[in-house]
């Protein structure tokens, strides 16, 4: 969800105002995915690298997260959305973790769109964590080398039980992966727009999905 800072800068506003303005885009995308029947939507909400921002901005981002979860949970409930997180969520402030857990529990009966928030997340860290889990399991069960395959490794990832993404949307014209779902994006289709995240609307989502539907996905195979 790139472009919040630039959106604010162009208007002579503090960066946090850009993050706050991104709330509407989140709602538009969630509701758009519900309308389209999308199974899983993952939002790269806060990366491991984001901890390196100023303490003031980090704290502001945590407060925005808490506010959005509190304010939107009723609407999420109404739209049959369930909540899941990936990343080192234990690094978040205790209050943020508590509100996350409360919201997750409140939405647990739902069985529609799975909204995944990537929080304190990094793709490389996720792969390293998965390798560590395999090593720890091997010490207990002596896993044969022949058993270590894509499927076994995938089950050690934060996204265990979720399908790999079909479509990656990048706002603000960014052309890099930015340490996001490095394992899972192996065959994802990319869609890039110059639109800054706070200006991203349902029409942009629908255009991305329309373009995706008209692509030929070969997964490395010939036509």
Q: Could you please report the per-residue DSSP string of 152-186?
A: HHHTTSTTTTSPPPSEEEE-TT--S-TTSSTTTTT
Output the pLDDT for position 217. Answer: 78
- Residue 218 located in a structural domain: no
Output the pLDDT for position 138. Answer: 84
50 is catalytic: yes
Q: Yes or no: say if 47 and 179 are a contact pair by the CB < 8 Å rule.
A: yes
- Residue 160 located in a structural domain: yes
- Residue 223 located in a structural domain: no
Catalytic residue chosen out of the listed positions 50, 164, 179, 199: 50
Question: Domain holding 172: CATH number?
Answer: 3.40.1180.10
Q: How many domains in the chain?
A: 1
- Residue 222 located in a structural domain: no
164 is catalytic: no
Q: Which of 98, 141, 121, 137 is nearest to 183 (CA)?
A: 121
- Residue 221 located in a structural domain: no
Q: Please check the confidence at residue 99 and state whether its pLDDT lies above 80.
A: yes
Output the pLDDT for position 90. Answer: 98
Output the pLDDT for position 223. Answer: 63
Range of 106's domain? Answer: 4-212
The structure's pTM equals 0.94
């Amino acid at each position: 969800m790139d472009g919040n800072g630039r959106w604010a800068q162009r208007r002579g506003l503090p960066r946090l105002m850009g993050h706050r303005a991104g709330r509407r885009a989140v709602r538009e995308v969630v509701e758009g995915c519900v309308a389209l029947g999308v199974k899983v939507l993952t939002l790269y909400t806060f990366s491991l690298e984001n901890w390196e921002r100023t303490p003031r901005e980090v704290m502001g981002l945590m407060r925005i997260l808490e506010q959005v979860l509190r304010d939107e949970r009723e609407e999420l409930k109404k739209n049959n959305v369930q909540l899941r997180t990936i990343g080192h969520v234990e690094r978040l402030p205790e209050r943020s973790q508590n509100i996350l857990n409360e919201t997750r529990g409140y939405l647990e009966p739902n069985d529609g769109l799975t909204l995944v928030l990537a929080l304190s997340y990094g793709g490389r860290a996720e792969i390293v964590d998965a390798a560590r889990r395999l090593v720890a399991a091997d010490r207990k069960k002596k896993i044969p080398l022949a058993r270590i395959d894509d499927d076994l490794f995938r089950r050690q990832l934060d996204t265990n039980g979720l399908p790999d993404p079909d479509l990656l949307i990048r706002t603000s014209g960014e052309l890099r992966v930015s340490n996001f779902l490095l394992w899972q994006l192996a065959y994802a289709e990319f869609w890039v727009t110059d639109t800054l995240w706070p200006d991203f609307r349902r029409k942009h989502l629908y255009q991305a999905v329309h373009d995706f539907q008209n692509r030929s996905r070969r997964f490395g195979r010939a036509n």
